Amino acid sequence: MSEKVEEKISGELNEENTQNETTAENKNLEEELKKAKIEIESLMDSWARERAEFQNFKRRASMDYINSKKEAIKNFVVKLLTPLDDLERVGMGESIVEEAKPFVEGVNLIKRELFSVLERENIRKVEPKGEVFDPMCMEAIALEESGDFTEERVLEVYQSGYEMTLENNEKVTLRPSRVKVGRPIN
């Protein structure tokens, strides 16, 4: 064969080999690209899960903080209720000795200030006299049946209840009102 034919054949073979190598390299690159895309997808999925988990953690931590704050306030105020009841009884007698009047006025001033502080903290005294009896926030300690009643109503309040209103307007009973209930005769 002539040298020109050999060069031509050799050139064609080199070209075929180069094409085969290029095709093989392309296949390798395509496989690496597929692997990289799968890894990216996996990492994105993992990142999204971690982000959602963190958001849930933040929400739970916030709720735990709010609940613990609510419980701390509730526990503190409940401890103050009995002394507040005692302050309310001061000066309730009909006859007060003249020398004791300034003392009683001072106690009443302190009592008003304490109730003002409770009000600012969204804690209010519950006086349900005349209202429909609600066992969720009232404790019946006496009962009177009569044909005059059409439904259970509070006739008398023996001990005032207290409730706290939270930021979301949920009401929490700190102490139920102790009441006498009027009930219709069955």
Q: Looking at the domain covering 125-186, what would its CATH class be?
A: mainly beta
Please, are residues 77 and 123 in contact by the beta-carbon 8 Å criterion? yes
CA-based nearest residue to 131, from 172, 164, 92, 160: 160
Q: Where are the domains of the chain?
A: 1-77, 125-186
pLDDT one-digit tens code per residue, 47-94: 999 999 999 999 999 999 988 988 898 899 999 999 998 888 886 766
Cα-Cα-Cα-Cα torsion 178, 184, 185, 186, nearest 10 degrees, comes to -110
pLDDT one-digit tens code per residue, 89-133: 886 766 778 888 888 888 889 999 999 999 998 999 999 999 999
Beta strand 177-184 pairing with 123-126: unpaired
pLDDT of residue 90: 80
Residue 149, token pair as written in the block: 């009643």
The predicted model scores a pTM of 0.64
pLDDT one-digit tens code per residue, 4-21: 666 666 666 566 666 767
Residue 69, token pair as written in the block: 């704050």
Sign (positive or negative) of CA dihedral 25, 29, 30, 35: positive
pLDDT of residue 67: 86
